[in-house]
């Protein structure tokens, strides 16, 4: 296996907004909260961070601010994927120059390339990167499923270090493990499948829920790695309702609302997303607090 980017929980961070602009103060406080609560990595400007609606200037500033704030305490991973390979290369190079420790690359969306095109796309970006690259498969959002054979074809690239698997298909995950072994690391891209994927050899989860439950998600992974499988199972089940509630509308609408209740920005998302209604936000915030208290 190549050098691990992280083991445990990497939080797919929201981007806090206030009156339409990035709330840098809230972002810094969220970074510090995450580190204090024990997460293993921080993902900036990905899907949960509304990366597709950030300007290039906002994207660069968020990555630089994260690197400056974190100061090497945990890896900072920048979301630099695009359906335009040239744009992804530009964003990847900029993130590497800004000091990001790795990049996260979603499969191209809308123009939906072939599997052969995926291989060419990812190899071109990895060739341009001087940091580890994490592939990201999320067909529910992109309309494109990266097959296990494609992951296997990419696993020999020296800078393609891992895959974030959010297909929801456990059989597909098992096939990746069979084809790739330890040639590429695996992370769950779905909170509700964290434990099943750990059981198939995943090194952790890139988590939405850990924005609001960083300690609990970290405990779930720690219990598994300590061999406390029964306790890990109980933690997964305890958090399941909250995990599902945080995905009850398009991510990051629900988690953004809960973060606002916790003081990290306002309940703002950028169009075409719209904020969660107040009563629903209150209900999910209560569920989150109950899960935190156990």
- Assign residue 132 the CATH number of its domain: 3.20.20.70
21 forms beta bridges with 18
The pLDDT, as a whole number, for residue 3 is: 82
User: In this structure, is residue 244 part of a structural domain?
Assistant: no
Q: What is the pTM of this model?
A: 0.97
> Are 39 and 3 within 8 A, CB to CB?
no
**In-domain check, residue 208:** yes
**How far is residue 288's CA from residue 294's CA, in Å, rounded to a whole number?**
10
- For the chain, how many structural domains are there in total? 1
Q: Which domain holds residue 97?
A: 8-228
Alpha-carbon distance 78 to 106, whole Å? 11
Q: Is 136 a catalytic residue?
A: yes
Average pLDDT over residues 276-280: 95
CA distances from 258 to 35, 242, 253 (A): 19, 11, 9
Flag whether pLDDT at 67 surpasses 90: yes
Would residue 233 count as lying in a domain? no
Q: Judge whether 242 lies within some domain.
A: no
Q: In this structure, is residue 175 part of a structural domain?
A: yes
pLDDT at 294 over 80: no
Q: How far does the chain reach from its first CA to its final CA, in angstroms?
A: 36
Cα distance between residue 183 and residue 163, in whole Å? 11
Angle between helices 56-70 and 85-98 (to 10 degrees): 30
> 19: Cβ–Cβ under 8 A, 6 or more apart, which residues?
266, 268
Output the pLDDT for position 124.
98
Q: What is the b/e burial string over 176-215, where b = at least 16 CB atoms within 10 angstroms of the residue's CB? A: bbebbeeebbbbbbbbbbbbebbebebbbbbbbbbbbbbb
Distance of CA 287 to the CA centre of its chain: 22
Mean pLDDT of the chain: 97
**How many angstroms separate the CA atoms of 79 and 109, rounded?**
14
Closest CA to 238 of 172, 194, 272: 194
pLDDT of residue 48: 98
Residue bearing the bigger pLDDT, 34 or 292: 34
The catalytic position among 33, 91, 131, 164 is 164
In the predicted structure, residue 1 carries a pLDDT above the cut 70: no
Please check whether residue 248 lies inside any domain of the structure.
no
* The pLDDT of residue 84: 97
pLDDT digits (tens, 9 = 90+) for 145-185: 999 999 999 999 999 999 999 999 999 999 999 999 999 99
Name the token pair of 135: 């592939």
193 phi/psi in degrees, rounded to 5: -115, 20
What is the predicted pLDDT for the residue at 239?
97
Domain assignment of residue 266, yes or no? no
Indicate the angle between helix axes 56-70 and 24-36, nearest 10 degrees: 40
In the prediction, which pLDDT does 193 show?
98
Q: Quick count: other Cβ atoms within 10 Å of Cβ 223?
A: 20
Give the confidence band of 81 by pLDDT, cuts at 50, 70, 90: very high
Q: 133 near 126, Cβ under 8 Å?
A: yes
Q: Residue 291: enclosing H or E segment and its boundaries?
A: helix 278-293
The angle at the Cα of 89, spanning 87 to 94, to the nearest 5 degrees, equals 100
What per-residue confidence (pLDDT) applies to 293? 74
Percentage of the chain modeled with pLDDT above 90: 97
Active-site entry in 33, 122, 136, 264: 136
User: In this predicted structure, what is the pLDDT of residue 261?
Assistant: 96
Q: What percent of the chain has pLDDT over 70?
A: 100
164 is annotated as an active-site residue: yes
Q: In this model, does residue 2 exceed pLDDT 90?
A: no
């Amino acid at each position: 296996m190549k050098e691990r980017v992280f083991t445990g929980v990497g939080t797919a961070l929201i981007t806090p907004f206030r009156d339409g602009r990035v709330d840098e103060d809230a972002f810094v406080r969220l970074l510090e909260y995450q580190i204090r609560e024990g997460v293993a990595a921080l993902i900036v400007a990905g899907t949960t961070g509304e990366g597709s609606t950030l300007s290039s200037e906002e994207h660069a500033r968020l990555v630089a601010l994260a690197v400056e704030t974190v100061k090497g305490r945990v890896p900072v991973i920048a979301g630099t994927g695009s359906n335009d390979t040239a744009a992804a290369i530009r964003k990847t190079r900029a993130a590497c120059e800004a000091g990001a420790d790795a990049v996260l690359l979603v499969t191209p969306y809308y123009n939906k390339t072939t599997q052969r095109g995926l291989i060419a796309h990812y190899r071109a970006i990895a060739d341009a990167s001087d940091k580890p690259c994490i592939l990201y498969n999320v067909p529910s959002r992109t309309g494109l499923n990266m097959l296990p054979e494609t992951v296997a074809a990419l696993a020999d690239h020296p800078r393609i270090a891992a895959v974030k698997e959010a297909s929801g298909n456990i059989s597909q995950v098992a096939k990746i493990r069979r084809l790739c072994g330890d040639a590429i690391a695996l992370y769950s891209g779905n909170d509700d499948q964290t434990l099943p994927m750990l059981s198939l050899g995943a090194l952790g989860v890139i988590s939405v829920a850990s924005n609001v439950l960083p300690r609990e998600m970290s405990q779930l992974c720690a219990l598994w790695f300590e061999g406390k499988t029964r306790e890990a199972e109980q933690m997964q089940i305890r958090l399941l309702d909250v995990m599902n509630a945080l995905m009850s509308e398009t991510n990051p609408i629900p988690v953004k609302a809960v973060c606002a209740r916790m003081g990290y920005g306002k309940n703002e998302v950028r169009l075409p997303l719209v904020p969660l209604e107040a009563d629903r936000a209150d209900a999910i915030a209560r569920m989150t607090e109950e899960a935190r208290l156990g």
